[in-house]
Amino acid sequence: MVDQKQIYNFNKLQKRLRRNVGQAIADFNMIEEGDRIMVCLSGGKDSYTMLDILRSLQQNAPVNFTLIAVNLDQKQPGFPGDVLPAYLESLGIEYHIVEENTYAIVKDKIPEGKTTCSLCSRLRRGILYRTAGELGANKIALGHHRDDMLQTLFLNMFYGGKLKAMPPKLMSDDGKHIVIRPLAYCREKDIERFAAAREFPIIPCNLCGSQPNLQRQVIGNMLRDWDKQYPGRIETMFRAMQNVVPSHLADSNLFDFRQLNAGDPVIAGGDLAFDRETLPAVPVGWQDEPEELLQLSVHQRLPVTEIK
Ligand code: SF4
């Protein structure tokens, strides 16, 4: 039996996810009047949540837009091809399943034991861009969330020597579509709880048998440990990505250090190197997580309610 407290907690969680998605859409002007958005659905918790939240926001959105859910069946052994069509039929929404045997191509081209992800994802990207064109979609929505963005930031810093993450909105490689990430402000732990409570029919992501990206896993674990040990650190780091101060980094393409002369205005607080830094007791941008959200049962489907 679903008790009132669980319903209350679920509604709070749902409301927070909607608020996060709505805010990201507004901040980055992700969705505009007349957009036809191809929602990429892998069968994982993130993409199910993205579709669910976008559909609910669509009902009260100030602009008209359409959604078409797309899944790419890459013919991995054991992929349950009936799961997504059955789910999407039950929702009664427009959808399209693309069948392309990228699994065979990857197996053919990549020697046994080598990582297959880079070719596989390149092929997938090309197919999805082509599909968006065929379906007349001008935008492509991907289910990456805040924690994916931070992981990418650290991956690029640790292994790529770049201060670069994953943007909430960008131009596709072929220059024909805008790629949006409506979950950019959503925490992975919220998405996990939401997906479990809604009992989405999750399709496991390890069907291809490829080794997962170990570096990404290590960074994911590092971020999770930090989150436990130093509550608020993740929120603050994400905020830092939105608060870049080029004059206080070292990229002369971003800031013209050569033209800096005595007598110029002080920029971004000047030099604090000689000062003892006063750091806030509570990390910037952090709000304590309401305990009740942690207690949300994940084993029962809970009703969806509208935000008032
Ligand atoms: S894990 Fe498998 S399906 Fe996913 S990108 Fe890598 S090779 Fe492709």
Indicate which atom in ligand 1 lies nearest the CA of residue 102: 8
Looking at the structure of the chain, the number of domains it has is 1
Report if residue 198 sits inside a domain: yes
The predicted model scores a pTM of 0.88
In angstroms, what is the span from residue 204 Cα to ligand 1's centroid?
Answer: 11
Q: What digits encode the pLDDT tens for the residues 150-165?
A: 999 999 999 999 999 9
Q: How confident is the model at residue 92 (pLDDT cuts 50, 70, 90)?
A: very high
Does residue 247 belong to any structural domain of this protein?
no
Would 179 be classed as within a structural domain?
yes
Does residue 257 sit within a domain?
no
Q: What mean pLDDT is predicted for residues 163-181?
A: 94
Q: Is 40 annotated as a binding residue?
A: no
What are the C-alpha distances in Å from 6 to residues 38, 190, 291, 296, 300? Answer: 33, 15, 12, 6, 9
| Cα 60 to ligand 1 centroid, rounded to whole Å | 36
Which spans in 28-145 are helix H? 45-60, 83-91, 102-109, 117-134
Q: Which of 110, 120, 205 to mutate to test the pocket of ligand 1 (most atoms within 8 A of CB)?
A: 120
Is residue 26 in some structural domain?
Answer: yes
- What pLDDT, in 10s, does the model give residues 205-240? 877 777 667 788 899 999 999 999 999 999 999 999
For residue 273, tell me if it sits in a domain: no
Strand partners, 71: 97
The answer to whether residue 303 is domain-embedded is no
What atom of ligand 1 comes closest to residue 116's alpha carbon? 7
Residue 29: domain span: 4-234+286-294
pLDDT of residue 294: 43
- For residues 55-69, give the mean pLDDT: 96
What pLDDT sits at residue 63? 96
Q: Find tokens 């998605």 and name the residue.
A: 21
Distance between CA atoms of 180 and 164, rounded to whole angstroms? 17
- 140 closest CA partner among 132, 152, 148: 132
Find how far residue 16's CA is from the centre of its chain.
Answer: 15
Q: What is the pLDDT of residue 301?
A: 41
Quick one: tokens of 255? 């800031």
pLDDT tens string 118-136: 899 899 999 999 999 999 9
Residue of 215, 242, 150, 228 whose CA lies nearest to 187:
150
Examine residue 300 and state whether it is found in any structural domain, yes or no.
no
- The CATH number of the domain where 9 resides is what? 3.40.50.620
CB-based burial, 205-230: b 16+ in 10 Å, e otherwise? eebbebeeeeeeeebbeebeeebeee
